Amino acid sequence: MSPNITADVDIRCPAWRDDINDADQICTRAALAAVMVAGRPAGGAEVSVVLCDDAFITDLNFRYRDRQNATNVLAFPQQDPAQPAEEPVLLGDIVVAHGTVAREAADAGRRVDHHLSHMVVHGMLHLLGFDHLTDVEADAMETLEIMAMARLGLPDPYAGEDGSFDVNGDHDDDR
């Protein structure tokens, strides 16, 4: 049985629409792929995805993490997916910054829509309780990200032409 995932996508930065025609569908598919490889929650879930600019995410990063810089993705969990709850489970919010994501994609020779998918998968895994604070956690999370991207028919986000692309080194999440 496939889980039912609802992604409410709020596009606050017009540059997302300029670069990607179907950002809503990309975010929904990426969220579902993350849930499928993580194996939770089993039933319905809701997530909010905000596609913003660097200024918006810089403000959030400062307010919630006391860091004065843009980042590619932030995840704000709302409900622990392991706790029993009425369905659908309200997982939380994923915020993705266009400028940072577009720069990272260009630097890595990747398509912006592929990198957006990766950022949503990454953020969704955080909402599902995964993290990368230790090497073991990072390895487990990377494996799930690679599996989710493969499920979407997209390349391994950690295997750049020179092998140097590493999202964990370039982003700040909600830790």
- Tell whether 51 is covered by a domain: yes
- Tell whether 174 is covered by a domain: no
DSSP 8-state assignment for residue 75: E
Mean pLDDT of all residues in 155-175: 54
Higher pLDDT, 40 or 164: 40
Q: The domain spanning residue 37 has which CATH number?
A: 3.40.390.30
How many domains are there within the chain? 1
- Tell whether 175 is covered by a domain: no
CA angle 3, 6, 8 (to 5 degrees): 160
Please count the other Cβ atoms lying within 10 Å of the Cβ belonging to residue 16.
23
3-state secondary structure string across 5-54: EEEEEEECCHHHHHHCCCHHHHHHHHHHHHHHHHCCCCCCEEEEEEEECH
Domain that holds residue 113: 5-168
- Tell whether 81 is covered by a domain: yes
- This prediction has a pTM of 0.88
- Given a cut of 50, is residue 140 above it in pLDDT? yes
The tens digit of pLDDT for each residue in 90-125 reads: 899 999 999 999 999 999 999 999 999 999 999 999
